[in-house]
Amino acid sequence: MNEVKLENPWQQALDRVRSWARINSPWAIHFNSGSCNGCDIEILATLTPRYDVERFGIKLQGSPRHADVLICTGPVTLQARDRLVRIYNQMPEPKFVIAVGSCGLSGGAFQGCYNVVGSIADVIPVDVYVPGCPPRPEAIIYGVVQLLKSLKGETPDPQANAAGAG
Amino acid sequence: MEKQDSNGKFIVPIGPQHPALKEPGHFEFAVEGEIVTGAAVRLGYVHRGIEKGAEARNWTQNIYLLERVCGICSHIHATAYTLGVEKLANVVAPPRAQAIRTLVAELERIHSHLLWLGVAAHEGGFDTLFMFSWRDRETVMDLLEMITGNRVHYSTNILGGVKIDLDDEKITAIRKGLDFLEERTHHYLKVINTDETFLGRTRDVGTMSRQQAEELGAVGPTARASGVPRDLRVEAPYAGYHEFPVRLITATEGDLHARFVVRMNECLDCYRVIREILDRLPGGELATRVPRRIPEGETISRVEAPRGELVYFIKSTGGDKPDRIKVRTPSLCNWGTVTSVAVGHKLADMPMLLAGIDPCFSCNDRMVRVNRPDQSQTWSWENLRQYGIEYYR
């Protein structure tokens, strides 16, 4: 949490309410910074009836100015780098980034291609990494839930339920 | 890709991050009031340099890389590549392998068309259809996962054959899934053809005549919806399409509605072909041996991807790595049709028009060099090679 903490008890109470609201309904935007679409269709699949991530209160938003969470896929290409940084800067504080897919984690299969800068973490700070090429929708949901857990102050435990996050 | 001069007009910029499509692409629409008078597309946000990267990897590693040109039609990319390499190596994959390739390709087509149906409906504001079609799409995803072990990148192909096999249990499951999907597809056809709101958004929107489609070089279902009889599975059968022929599906209207109808009818034909493959699945080996070094030569491999004709040019110098791989993907060919037919439509129709060609940015963001007559120049191979070396240094 990057918010400035004031000693004022009223402010503290307000922060708690904000944090509670954020955890109950994080709004996300999705940006493809050079991915092959595989992760993007799996992110879309999490919104559709079988996986239905909206039951956790997570809503996909169109504008970065309304979003708390940036779900980012793919290696960062030279063209997309500036856009990615701009979108990150447009998001209001506090903001969180979930990198989805092997390419987003390390460059994946595209390592060494001339137009690829590298992983998302090379460009913007990343909070949650979801591995897989592409990760299953369950794994993406698991990653989001881990982020929400860490917001609540719990320590995320990647080992717990790891079998479900293949 | 500018179609019209848009100087002095009000321009609505969209993208590259925008709520309509899930991939980055930048569009500029010049508008007068609500009517679009000019459209321009700027692509290239997803250009990664795969063709150059393929030259640094060996023949087997390239299957892995080229599948990742596009996540939606990954199998067909690997098929085009392996068919081309097999042609160079003078190897023919066994009939069972060809049949399984065809089967997975058709399942992929179903998944791609259902995905597109949902996305296109979403652009039209018809989210119910989006949710329903994506729910049913999970059936075909389950089938693909059961057969190949992965939901998106199937990795079915190896050089000389395939690495997965079908047994009775899987065949029964596929038949069951197909029965369900066929019933749902008939339902969607009914929705597309009868729902008044939907027809209002699609009928006579983005109409493209057959002549226009041919001049603009449209491919795949977009061209077939305008009455162009162009389907490589029929014209130049590859893999298993000799034994299991498909029907050529066309429509004459050329509007958005026709594109919906063509794609849904193609799904119905996919079910028929898959059933036929399952009925007459050839026995025998799954793969033949392919040498590690591919003999010198060059070839062109053409296949029909869900979005249209996909062409691979492969050149070998006899080593364990390709000398050049050139990919021509269908989405790029279809962009010209969007910028042309957009003129004269309302701005609100643009998302559906864009989605109408089933754009896939990850495969269309490649380098194209357009030589205009007034500034054309000829480069010798040596000059070009030198330029490439200097450029990448």
Query: Quick one: average pLDDT of B149-157?
Result: 89
Q: What is the DSSP letter of B335?
A: H
Residue B316 burial (C-beta neighbours within 10 Å; 0-12, 13-18, 19+): buried
Query: From CA A40, how far away is CA A38, in angstroms rounded?
Result: 5
**Contact: B134, A45; criterion CB under 8 Å:** yes
Global ipTM: 0.84
A32: nearest CA partner in chain B: B23
Tell which residue, A88, A71, A73, A113, has the closest CA to residue B47.
Answer: A113
- Classified as helix, coil or strand, B215 is helix
User: What part of A 137-166 touches B (C-beta under 8 Å)?
Assistant: none
Of A43, A64, A77, the CB nearest to B46: A77
B299 pLDDT more than 50: yes
**Contact: B49, A113; criterion CB under 8 Å:** yes
Query: From CA B63, how far away is CA B42, in angstroms rounded?
Result: 29
Which has the minimum average pLDDT: A148-162, B26-40, B149-163, B298-312? A148-162
Helix axes A38-47, A137-152, angle to 10 degrees: 70
Q: Specify the length of chain B in residues.
A: 393
pLDDT at position A36:
86
Q: φ, ψ for residue B193 (rounded to 5)? A: -85, -20
Paired tokens of B203:
């009928």
Paired tokens of A92:
């209001």
- Better-predicted residue by pLDDT, A93 or B299: B299
**Contact: B16, A44; criterion CB under 8 Å:** no
Q: Smallest CA–CA separation between B210 and chain A, in Å? A: 31
Paired tokens of B137:
């799409």
**Contact: B24, A32; criterion CB under 8 Å:** yes
Query: Which of A65, A78, A115 is most worth mutating to test chain B (most B CB atoms within 10 A of its CB)?
Result: A115
Query: From CA B155, how far away is CA B133, in angstroms rounded?
Result: 25
User: Which residues have a Cβ under 8 Å from the Cβ of A126 and sit 6 or more positions away?
Assistant: A72, A97, A98, A99, A120
Helix axes B59-67, B74-88, angle to 10 degrees: 160
Helices and strands (H and E) in chain B: how many = 15, 8
Residue A16 resides in a domain: no
Of A30, A32, A115, the CB nearest to B47: A115
**Contact: A77, B131; criterion CB under 8 Å:** no
Paired tokens of A100:
């989805």
**Contact: B153, A134; criterion CB under 8 Å:** yes
Query: From CA B322, how far away is CA B301, in angstroms rounded?
Result: 14
Paired tokens of B142:
């389950």
Q: Does A48 touch chain B (CB under 8 A)?
A: yes
Residue A162 resides in a domain: no
Please answer whether residues B379 and B388 qualify as being in contact, where contact means their C-beta atoms are separated by less than 8 angstroms: no
Please answer whether residues B27 and B39 qualify as being in contact, where contact means their C-beta atoms are separated by less than 8 angstroms: yes
Query: From CA B241, how far away is CA B226, in angstroms rounded?
Result: 24
CB atoms within 10 A of CB B24: 28
User: Can you spell out the DSSP letters for B60-111?
Assistant: HHHHHHHHTT-SSSHHHHHHHHHHHHHHHTT----HHHHHHHHHHHHHHHHH
Query: From CA B320, how far away is CA A123, in angstroms rounded?
Result: 35
**Contact: B71, A41; criterion CB under 8 Å:** yes
Residue A146 resides in a domain: yes
Tell which residue, B177, B119, B115, has the closest CA to residue B146.
Answer: B177
Of A30, A108, A133, the CB nearest to B22: A30
Query: From CA B142, how far away is CA B177, in angstroms rounded?
Result: 9
Q: Does A116 touch chain B (CB under 8 A)?
A: yes
pLDDT at position B127:
87
pLDDT tens-digit map of B239-248 = 889 999 999 9
pLDDT at position B20:
65
Q: Smallest CA–CA separation between A112 and chain B, in Å? A: 7
Residue A11 resides in a domain: no
Query: From CA B73, how far away is CA B330, in angstroms rounded?
Result: 11
Query: Which of A39, A48, A86 is most worth mutating to test chain B (most B CB atoms within 10 A of its CB)?
Result: A48
Domain count, chain A: 1
User: What part of A 27-46 touches B (C-beta under 8 Å)?
Assistant: 29-45
B281 pLDDT more than 50: yes
Exposure class string for A37-72: b at 16+ Cβ within 10 A, else e:
bbbbbbbbbbbbeebebeebebebbeebeebbbbbb
pLDDT at position B380:
63
**Contact: A114, B52; criterion CB under 8 Å:** yes
pLDDT at position A57:
83
- Classified as helix, coil or strand, B202 is helix
pLDDT at position A120:
92
CATH of the domain at A89: 3.40.50.12280
Residue B86 CB-half CA count within 13 A? 25
Q: Return the number of CB contacts < 8 Å for A and B.
A: 123
Q: What residues make up the domain containing A50?
A: 25-150
Q: Using only C-alpha atoms, what is the Rg of chain B? A: 21
Paired tokens of B357:
């060609």
Q: How confident is the model at residue B270 (pLDDT cuts 50, 70, 90)?
A: very high
Query: From CA A11, how far away is CA A143, in angstroms rounded?
Result: 30
CB atoms within 10 A of CB B242: 11
pLDDT at position B239:
87
Helix axes A38-47, B127-148, angle to 10 degrees: 120
Please answer whether residues A149 and A160 qualify as being in contact, where contact means their C-beta atoms are separated by less than 8 angstroms: no
Query: From CA B382, how far away is CA B377, in angstroms rounded?
Result: 14
pLDDT at position A3:
62
Average pLDDT, chain B: 86
Residue A5 resides in a domain: no
Residue A12 resides in a domain: no
CB atoms within 10 A of CB B341: 26
Query: From CA B103, how far away is CA B82, in angstroms rounded?
Result: 16
Does the global pTM surpass 0.90? no
Q: Does A119 touch chain B (CB under 8 A)?
A: no
Query: From CA A82, how far away is CA B26, in angstroms rounded?
Result: 14
Residue B391 burial (C-beta neighbours within 10 Å; 0-12, 13-18, 19+): exposed
Q: Does A74 touch chain B (CB under 8 A)?
A: yes
Paired tokens of B72:
């939606």
Of A44, A62, A83, the CB nearest to B19: A62
Q: How confident is the model at residue B102 (pLDDT cuts 50, 70, 90)?
A: very high
Residue A62 resides in a domain: yes
Query: Quick one: average pLDDT of B350-367?
Result: 77
Hey, what domains does chain B have and what are their CATH numbers?
A: 50-330 (1.10.645.10)
Please answer whether residues A125 and A98 qualify as being in contact, where contact means their C-beta atoms are separated by less than 8 angstroms: no
**Contact: A40, B71; criterion CB under 8 Å:** yes
Tell which residue, B325, B285, B276, has the closest CA to residue B80.
Answer: B325
pLDDT at position A1:
53
Q: What is the mean pLDDT of each run of 10 residues along chain A (166 residues)?
A: 68 83 85 88 90 85 87 88 89 90 88 87 92 91 88 70 46
Paired tokens of B147:
């057969």
Indicate the helix (H) or strand (E) that contains A116. strand A116-118
pLDDT tens-digit map of B52-91 = 889 999 999 999 999 988 888 889 999 999 999 999 999 9
Q: Smallest CA–CA separation between A126 and chain B, in Å? A: 19
Of A32, A39, A77, the CB nearest to B47: A77
Q: Does A65 touch chain B (CB under 8 A)?
A: no
User: Which residues have a Cβ under 8 Å from the Cβ of B182 and sit 6 or more positions away?
Assistant: B268, B271
Tell which residue, A49, A103, A117, A45, has the closest CA to residue A72.
Answer: A103
